Amino acid sequence: MAVPVFRFAPSPNGPLHLGHALSALTGFDRAQRLGGRFLVRIEDIDVARCREEHIAGIFEDLTWLGIAWEEPVLRQSQHFAVYARAAQWLEAQGLLYPCFASRSEIEVGAAAGAVDPDGAPLYPGLHKGLPRAEIEARMENGERFALRLDMQRALAVARERLKGAPLTFTELDESDRPQAIEAHPELWGDAVILRKDVPASYHLAVVVDDAGQGVTHVARGRDLYQATGLHRLLQVVLGLPEPLYHHHRLLADAEGRKLAKSAGDTGLAELRAAGASAADVRRTLGLGS
Ligand code: GLU
């Protein structure tokens, strides 16, 4: 069997916290157990929010945790041309359309209570089917636009590719037992594939890079469980291989809220400065040494 390839893919828009340590160690430990490779990928497409100091902090934190990774580290901000090519291909298949709508137009237009799995208002198809002349006029005017996935068409293409088999992903449990999970990309509606502000999106970049880097195992938090459905759809439509997934539990703070980067008291650098060791972090997370 080919050597398994794991990756940890943090966004450097804040310091790493215990939840990141759980993701990184879960992947790293599994890679070690299976004799696999371990990569770190810096997901910095959000150029306005990502900071060099956070990238440096990520490497320091991971080293402190006893994690080793392969060089060179891929930075997504150096890969915009690759995402553009994938988007062009999707566009050529008639699967993308331009959307000029602002955030507030989408909020106003969304059906009451209709949200995507991230809790954002579900895009109500405002600019789907805009007349060509209007699209051209707005583009000529320099209006900025996102490119959105025509979900119905993408699902139709996937059905054809899968020859009637359901769209699924393979979830590995704690003991690496596989389970087929039905994917529900439609929950995202016509998802943004290229953003207005940067020529990429998390969903496109992650599937393109996982495939490009030969990633076979994705270990990440449960907060991305439904995103995996959309990733599978993009993989099928783009003809990319299917990694195995493990979505680990999310950590909650004392009040039961999901840990966020702003939760300074669980920042790894702060724990380190307070004298904690990597073994302490592992113990806190319930991981073996
Ligand atoms: N960059 C994403 C994050 O920091 C994780 C992406 C992934 O593991 O697929 O939340």
* In the chain, domain spans: 1-78+251-289
d(CA 6, CA 218): 6
Output the pLDDT for position 289.
73
d(CA 45, CA 230): 19
- What's the average pLDDT block by block, 10 residues per block, for the chain (289 residues)? 94 95 97 97 96 98 98 98 98 98 95 94 96 98 98 98 96 96 98 97 98 98 97 98 97 67 73 96 91
Task: Judge whether 251 and 232 are in contact, CB under 8 Å.
Answer: no
Nearest to 139 by CA among 154, 156, 127, 126: 127
């507030």: which residue's tokens?
104
9 in contact with ligand 1, CB cutoff 6 A: yes
Output the pLDDT for position 263.
52
d(CA 213, CA 283): 31
d(CA 204, CA 231): 8
Nearest to 116 by CA among 234, 223, 19, 198: 223
pTM: 0.95
224 in contact with ligand 1, CB cutoff 6 A: yes
Architecture of the domain defined by 1-78+251-289:
3-Layer(aba) Sandwich (3.40)
Helix axes 202-212, 80-92, angle to 10 degrees: 100
Residue 65 CA: distances (Å) to CA of 18, 52, 59, 202: 11, 20, 10, 26
- Tell how far CA 47 is from the center of its chain: 16
Residue 14 CA: distances (Å) to CA of 31, 51, 203: 26, 8, 20
Q: How far is the CA of 220 from the centre of ligand 1 (A)?
A: 7
Nearest to 37 by CA among 208, 213, 203: 213
Tokens of 77: 């901000």
d(CA 146, CA 35): 41
Q: What one-character DSSP code corresponds to residue 223?
A: G
d(CA 7, CA 61): 16
Output the pLDDT for position 259.
62
Mutate to test the pocket of ligand 1, among 26, 207, 213, 220 (most ligand atoms within 8 A of CB): 220
Q: How far is the CA of 140 from the centre of ligand 1 (A)?
A: 35
44 in contact with ligand 1, CB cutoff 6 A: no
d(CA 119, CA 256): 18
């440096």: which residue's tokens?
56
Q: What one-character DSSP code corresponds to residue 85?
A: H
SS3 state of residue 197: coil
